[in-house]
Amino acid sequence: MLVFLVRRVLTMIPTLFLISIVCFVLIKLQPGDYITQFLDDPRIGPETIAAITRQLGLDQPAYVQYLKWLGGVVTEGDFGFSFLNNRPVASLIYERLGWTVAVAGLTIVFSWLIAIPLGIYTALNRYGWAANIANFIGYIGLATPDFLVALLLISLTLNMGGTNVGGLFSPQYIDQPWSLAKFWDMLGHLWIPLIAIGLEGVAGLMRQMRANLLDVLNQDYVRTARSKGLRERTVIWRHAVRNAINPLITTAGLSLPQLISGTIIVSIILNLPTIGPFLYDSLLNKDQYVVMTLLMFSSLLLMVGNLLADLALAWTDPRIRFE
Amino acid sequence: MKKGAMLVTATLLLAGAAYAAPKKVDGYASLGVVAGKPGGTYTLALGDSPQSFMYYGVIDSNLQTLAQQMFDGLVEYNYKTYRIEPALAESWTVSSDGKVYTFKLRQGVKWHDGEEFTADDVVFTFEQIVMNPEARAGDAANFEIGGKKVQFDKVDKYTVRVTLAKAAPAFLQQMRTFIMPRHKLAKFTPAGGGKPADINSAWPTNGNLKDVVGTGPFKLASYSTGQKVSLVKNPDYWKVDAKGTKLPYLDRLEFLIIRDPQAQVAQFLAKNLDAININGAQFPDLKQKEVAGAPFKVVRSEALFGSPPHLAFNFDAKDPGLKKAFSSVAFRQAMQKAVNRERIIETVYNGLATLPGTPMPPTSSFYINTQKYMDKFDLKAAGEALDKLGYKDTNGNGVRNIPGGGELEFALTYGTDSSVWPPIATIIQDDFKKIGVKVNLKGIQSSTLLSTGLSGNFEALLLAFGDQPDPELRKPIWQPGGALYYWHRSTQPEKPGGEPNKKAMATWERQVYDLLEKGSTTVDAAKRKALYNQWQVANAKNLPVIMIAKPANIAAVSNEYGNFIYTLGVIPGYNPVPLIYKK
């Protein structure tokens, strides 16, 4: 087990290295660079453009820029600085990490808490009207892009005379210290992103859970268990559901990078202070070291998520052994 | 010095008073400004998080919006006439040769931390920051006049003398530049032992906000990443209203960080924002709500600034036939007749635009009406004009042919990610087709339109440049050989900053070049205006580009607030927010 873990962690290093090269090449393949956007600004003359280019090291060959960045990461844990903000990348990401983790974490929990029971219910009561309604909502959730759901919810709230149509707080609470009133205000805002981001996840997970469970219910061991005379509840919860949930654990691991890039559009529309829009701005502005760091972070999360999923699978599924 | 420039134009706008004299903001009754009352919070939208709080360190429109409220320049615009009037400088004199400006500073002005504002701050700001070529948002190029750096000298505590190598009447416009506190920033400049580039990293958004001090109407109070920036009233501000009440009226000015324009409208409708600027597409919905009794007003105004779109033909097109056509005045005049400006105004701008003028906006004191040179939309006349020029359909495929060449067909480059470029491009394509001119649309990202233009890699292009009150400020655009004169790049100097290539210029371009060159050194105001009149006529007749429309400026404002005056965005020296009050 420990050997497996160490081996997995070690293989991440060359993978990340390769990913970083691919990312940097892709960034450099985009037409123009950070400077391009300033060409039509009457405040900025050609001399200033030249000075900024030199300050940022953009006048050096691409491989030198890459090696310098990599050198900083490896030797000092320095992920470069943001062209836009004149500040180290790490501190900028750190500022936005809290709300990103909170929002993404809550939506993941929200979608699991709703999707798994619904999936089980619809699998067990395939032809009931309640199951049909749940399925129908599931299809709609799958078919509707999350930003559209966000817009619909905003419009609905506005028409009902509500004022919490974006952000996480009402304006007056944003820079106030935490209080019960602020907490309530947050809950009043949070339901829109939870539904908008979570709904798509709910639908997908529910359909997956239902299919898995239906699959498992036809397996021999379930019939064996039933014929042994085990109570239906035990058959379903101890044997069937436990097995049916396995593939979803992998899904959970893969959903970690969603933290960064999964909610860009919704975050922009709902005005959430998360990393998504920050990545989007950095991409638009070709703020290369921020983009690099966020993409690397995202890749790392994907690998860590995979690893965690494997470990969780090993724990839930007795058939999996590492040795 | 030219003889004409020797006329004495020294003006003393206000008698220099030796005591702390606040500036009285008066005379705007025609704009609907009334006496307000103190108090209240006013909330606006900010397009994104500020990248820093150092105005000269990052090129960031969001920071500019904030800086506008926190800092002042020596002079500012009149809200109505856009003429220069006193701000931190209470008065000034100009020497008779137009080369020496002496500014008397307003006494008793305090920085937000209580320190006094003096001539040292002014000299420091220009010498160490604005003219520092390493400051990313500095302005070194505009402070090199006649090949020499502008010189700033402290005469006494409240007097600054500025010396130019040659007369430059538009120089006063540059004095709108925001002044920074020396006592807070010296350590980031060579004057305080720092490196020239250090200024870029002063006042980061995660630094101590108390260090960010200005002389402006509001002080920085707090910043929540990605959510909100709060400013509070500067109780010591140096302006009073007509009745002597201290400005600003508002206690707090808050900016909610909202990226998406639709989300801004939603927040406005939810009453979380008190005013927003909107576009023609958003107008009908909001106007309908206003008519139905919503508690806000949609305001349409003819403000000075704003970017009229134009159609440019590449005089240096790679195809020799097109090159010949595009650089011909007669060809452009013929094509102008096929540009349906009225329809574009009606359908693209929802009627919220007017016919364009010359590159000067009608609200500028330099503007003259040249609309008689602007032909009416008339496809038949356009076709006849092309016939006369020899562009006839010789092979009968419905597309005209270039004499001795191929088809009269070109690519029109436009921005796809915008609500105006795609429909304008389609209307032009459609109408041109009717007169046998084939247009192939080529969509690119709007943000790359200008760099595409500057690279010369286009045949025809849709673009817009912002308007300014003084033609001198837009010389790089409209003067042949200028850095932004992209439709005729062969006029540009070989090396940036060198002599423009006059050999490549057409006769009318030489004329325009000389007019603008003369305008930039003529001190006599009447003579200067006469030069710019000639320029506008030359421009209207020769059509370096075909101007399409002048979009109106529209905003929506909550009924709870009074004295709203439209501002397009950040125009240093034009900030009517201190007049806004809560009813």
Domain containing A130: what range?
96-275
Determine the 3-state secondary structure of B199 from DSSP.
Answer: helix
H or E element, residue B61: helix B61-70
A48 with B260: Cβ contact below 8 A: no
pLDDT at B17: 41
| CA-to-CA separations, B291 to A156, B353, B554, in angstroms, rounded | 21, 21, 16
Structure tokens at B89: 């400088």
Say yes or no: B58 contacts chain A, CB-CB below 8 A.
yes
Determine the 3-state secondary structure of B30 from DSSP.
Answer: helix
Instruction: Flag whether A36 is in a domain.
Output: no
Query: Minimal Cα distance from B223: which residue of A?
Result: A175
pLDDT at B63: 92
Which one of A35, A39, A40, A278 makes the best mutation probe of the B interface by having the most chain B beta carbons within 10 Å? A40
Instruction: Flag whether B494 is in a domain.
Output: yes
Instruction: Flag whether A267 is in a domain.
Output: yes
What's the angle, vertex CA B182, arms to CA B177 and CA B186, rounded to 5? 115
Q: Are strands A81-82 and B100-105 parallel, antiparallel or unpaired?
A: unpaired
B59 with A91: Cβ contact below 8 A: no
Residues 428-467 (B) with a CB less than 8 A from some CB of A: 447-448, 450-451, 454, 465-466
Torsional sign, CA A190, A196, A197, A198: positive
Class of residue B157 by CB neighbours under 10 A (exposed 0-12, middle 13-18, buried 19+):
exposed
Instruction: Flag whether B459 is in a domain.
Output: yes
Nearest to B270 among A41, A163, A278 (CB): A163
Say yes or no: B197 contacts chain A, CB-CB below 8 A.
yes
Which residue pairs from A171-175 have beta carbons closer than 8 angstroms and sit at least 24 positions apart in sequence?
Answer: A171/B43, A171/B228, A171/B254, A171/B256, A171/B272, A174/B224, A174/B227, A174/B228, A174/B256, A175/B222, A175/B224, A175/B228, A175/B230
Say yes or no: A148 contacts chain B, CB-CB below 8 A.
no
pLDDT at B1: 37
Give me the tens of pLDDT residue by residue for chain A, a chain 323 residues long. Answer: 788 888 888 988 899 999 999 989 988 887 777 877 776 665 566 777 888 888 888 888 888 888 888 888 888 888 888 888 888 888 888 888 888 888 888 888 888 898 888 888 888 888 888 888 888 888 888 888 888 888 899 889 988 888 888 888 888 888 888 899 999 999 999 898 888 888 877 888 888 888 888 888 888 888 888 888 888 888 888 888 888 888 888 777 777 777 677 778 888 888 888 888 888 888 888 888 999 999 888 888 888 888 888 888 777 776 766 55
Instruction: Flag whether B183 is in a domain.
Output: no
Spell out the residues 6+ positions from residue B457 whose beta carbon is closer than 8 angstroms to its own.
none
- Residues of chain B where predicted confidence (pLDDT) is lower than 70: 1-20, 303, 496-497
Strand ranges, E, within chain A: 81-82, 87-88
Query: What total number of domains does chain B contain?
Result: 1
Residues 464-523 (B) with a CB less than 8 A from some CB of A: 465-466, 468, 473-474, 476, 483-484, 496-497
Distance CA B50, CA B548 (A): 34
Residues B473 and A58: beta-carbon distance below 8 Å: no
Distance CA A62, CA A29 (A): 10
- The amino acid present at B9, given as its one-letter code, is T
A268 with B225: Cβ contact below 8 A: no
A86 with B256: Cβ contact below 8 A: no
Instruction: Flag whether A315 is in a domain.
Output: no
State chain B's mean pLDDT as an integer: 88
Strand ranges, E, within B36-78: 41-46, 75-77
Place of tokens 């699991």: A112
Spell out the residues 6+ positions from residue A215 whose beta carbon is closer than 8 angstroms to its own.
A244
Instruction: Flag whether B212 is in a domain.
Output: no
H or E element, residue B325: helix B320-326
Instruction: Flag whether A47 is in a domain.
Output: no
3-state DSSP: chain B helix, strand, coil percent, rounded to 5? Answer: 30, 20, 50
Instruction: Flag whether A178 is in a domain.
Output: yes
Say yes or no: B147 contacts chain A, CB-CB below 8 A.
no
Query: Minimal Cα distance from A169: which residue of B?
Result: B227
Instruction: Flag whether A133 is in a domain.
Output: yes
The pTM of the full predicted model, rounded to 2 decimals, is: 0.84
The yes/no answer to whether this complex scores an ipTM above 0.85 is no
Query: What total number of domains does chain A contain?
Result: 1
Q: What's the CATH code of the domain at A248? A: 1.10.3720.10
Instruction: Flag whether B542 is in a domain.
Output: yes
Structure tokens at B405: 């060449």
pLDDT at B403: 85
Determine the 3-state secondary structure of B557 from DSSP.
Answer: strand
Q: What's the CATH code of the domain at B439? A: 3.10.105.10
Going by C-alpha positions, the residue among A234, A299, A303, A308 that lies closest to residue A261 is: A299
B52 with A175: Cβ contact below 8 A: no
Distance (Å) from the C-alpha of residue B337 to the closest C-alpha of chain A?
29
Instruction: Flag whether B166 is in a domain.
Output: no
SS (H, E, C) A139-206: HHHHHCCHHHHHHHHHHHHHHCCCCCCCCCCCHHHCCCCCCHHHHHHHHHHHHHHHHHHHHHHHHHHH
Instruction: Flag whether B45 is in a domain.
Output: no
Instruction: Flag whether B173 is in a domain.
Output: no
Instruction: Flag whether A81 is in a domain.
Output: no
H or E element, residue B120: helix B119-124
Q: Are strands B460-464 and B159-163 parallel, antiparallel or unpaired?
A: unpaired
Instruction: Flag whether A264 is in a domain.
Output: yes
Distance (Å) from the C-alpha of residue A49 to the closest C-alpha of chain B?
8
Spell out the residues 6+ positions from residue B549 whose beta carbon is closer than 8 angstroms to its own.
B308, B309, B341, B344, B345, B348, B349, B353, B354, B355, B356
Domain containing B455: what range?
309-551
Residue B345 DSSP symbol:
I
pLDDT at A226: 83
